[in-house]
Amino acid sequence: MSATYGTRTYCRQTLIGGNYGLLNTTTFNPNPDYYSALLWHRLMGGRVLSTTFYGTKKIRTYAHCAKESNGVTILFLNLDNSTTVNAQVALKFAEKPYYHLRGSQRREYHLTAKDGNLHSQIMLLNGNILSVNSDGDIPPLNPIYVDSSKPITVGPLSIVFAHIPDAAVKACS
């Protein structure tokens, strides 16, 4: 939302410390929010696109031109603790209507807390636990590939990044 008003950069208050830090103060391992920030950095480009979501008021959506392709990346936040949403995407101002992308694949990254517990220190990506290895290396953040014509399923209390590399939006070229 800030970008629509001209904000060009954002800085977190803290890298480490308190309940807001990206790193655990004892182990220096990433806290769960680290992974959502890392995916944002890797997937969301600098150009912000306007989004509208029709349906529940518990979904937040954000769209940017993709960082490393001509496509778009859409972020969904589901704030509801019990409802799964199947979101249909309609891209205005696309060079081809979105339904013409049948057969193409989008990349999805579903972030959830272990066992749906928002206080958990364990973050899951597409159902797999994210944790650093013994050398402290960040695990690979591998997407799942989904037919672009299918709805995007956003589970309760989850974050979904949907990267649509084949979406040709004029604002992103």
- Residue 5 has a pLDDT of 66
In tens digits, what is the pLDDT along the chain, a chain of 173 residues? Answer: 666 666 666 555 555 555 667 877 788 888 888 999 999 999 999 888 888 888 888 999 999 999 987 789 999 999 999 999 999 887 765 555 555 556 689 999 999 999 988 888 899 999 999 999 999 899 999 999 999 889 999 999 999 999 998 887 888 87
Structural domain boundaries enclosing 107: 2-172
Q: What is the pLDDT of residue 74?
A: 94
Counted domains in the chain: 1
Q: Which long-range contacts (CB under 8 A, 24 or more apart) does 69-72 make?
A: 69/163, 69/165, 70/165, 70/168, 70/172, 70/173, 71/163, 71/164, 71/165, 71/166, 71/167, 71/168, 71/169, 71/172, 72/163, 72/164, 72/167, 72/169, 72/172
CATH number at residue 70: 2.60.40.1180
